[in-house]
Amino acid sequence: MLKGLVSVVTGSASGLGRATVERIVREGGRAVICDLPTSQGAKVAEEIGDSVIFVPTDVSSASDVENALAACKDKFGRLDVAVNCAGIGIAVKTYNHNKKLSHSFEDFMRVQTRGVIINTASVAAFDGQIGQAAYSASKGGIVGMTLPIARDLAPVGIRICTIAPGLFKTPLLMSLPEKVQNFLAKTVPFPQRLGDPDEYAMMVQAIITNPMMNGETIRVDGAIRMQP
C-alpha cells in the first residue's frame, strides 16, 4: 500500500513516469509531476486530480529541482519517494543529472530519516548495441552508483534501487512504424510483447513496499537480451 506516501516523479508527463504517478494515486498516495515546461504535465495533473501537482522542471537545472522539492514541501509537507524517470541520450549528462537529483532528494529525505529513491536505467547498461557506447555508459553509471549510494544512506534509513526496463510502450517507441514495433515485440522471449508502462509502475510499487529491497538493479524486460 502506498497510502499517505508522497512521491516526486521526474519525467512523469508521459510514458513510464505518468504510469507511475497514476499507480501511486490509485494506491492512495500523492505525487509531484515533474517534467519540462513544454510537456503535457499541467494537463496530466488536471486529469489525475487533486492528489497531484505539476511543477515545470528541467532536471538539468539544479534550481528547477530545488523548486520542485520546495513545491512538494509546501503542498504536501513531506517527501517519501523519489522516482527518476527523466532521461536524455547524452552519456555524461545523464549520469550527472541522476547523481544531482539523487543528492537533492537525499538532503530532503534526511530530515525524515527515511525514504526511497528509485532510478531508471535500461537494459542497455548490460546489453549495449552497436552505436550505443555513450548511451550504455550513461545507463551503466546509474547502475554502478546504486549500491554505493545505498550503503552511504543506510545510516539514515534511505533505500535506493534502480529499474532497468526493456522494450516498453513509451512515446518514443510508439512513434516508430507499426512494423518495427511488431518486430521488436517478437524479440522479447516471454511475454512476447512490448511492456506496458504500468508494469514498470508495478515494480516501483514493489520496491517501495518491500523494505528489504535496497542497493539492487532489477531488470524488467521479459528476459530479453539485446542483440549487437
Q: Report the CATH number of the 6-168+195-220 domain.
A: 3.40.50.720
Cell of 210: 518491500
Instruction: Give residue for cell 521479459.
Output: 222
Phi/psi at 161 (nearest 5 deg)? -135, 165
Q: Which residues contact 49 (CB under 8 A, 6 or more apart)?
A: 25
**Cell numbers describing residue 85:** 524517470
As annotated, the active-site residues are 135
Q: State how far the Cα of 185 lies from the Cα of 209, in Å rounded to an integer.
A: 30
Question: Where is 141: in which H helix or E strand?
Answer: helix 133-153
**Contact at 8 Å (CB) between 56 and 36?**
yes
Instruction: Flag whether pLDDT at 23 surpasses 50.
Output: yes
Domains of the chain, by residue range, sit at: 6-168+195-220
pTM value > 0.85: yes
pLDDT at residue 93, as a whole number: 38
* For the ranges 43-47, 103-107, 130-134, the one whose mean pLDDT is highest: 43-47
Distance CA 204, CA 65 (A): 21
Give the pLDDT score at 111: 53
Confidence (pLDDT) at 195? 97
C-alpha grid cell for residue 93?
A: 549528462
The pLDDT-based confidence of 97 (bands split at 50, 70, 90) is very low
For position 81, what pLDDT does the model report?
Answer: 95
Per cent of the chain over pLDDT 90 is 80
pLDDT score for 96: 47
What pLDDT score does 90 carry? 37
The answer to whether 114 and 158 have CB atoms below 8 angstroms apart is yes
pLDDT at position 110 is 53
Q: What is the pLDDT of residue 94?
A: 37
Give pLDDT tens digits for 163-177. Answer: 999 999 999 899 999
Run of H or E residues at 23: helix 15-26
For residues 24-29, average pLDDT: 97
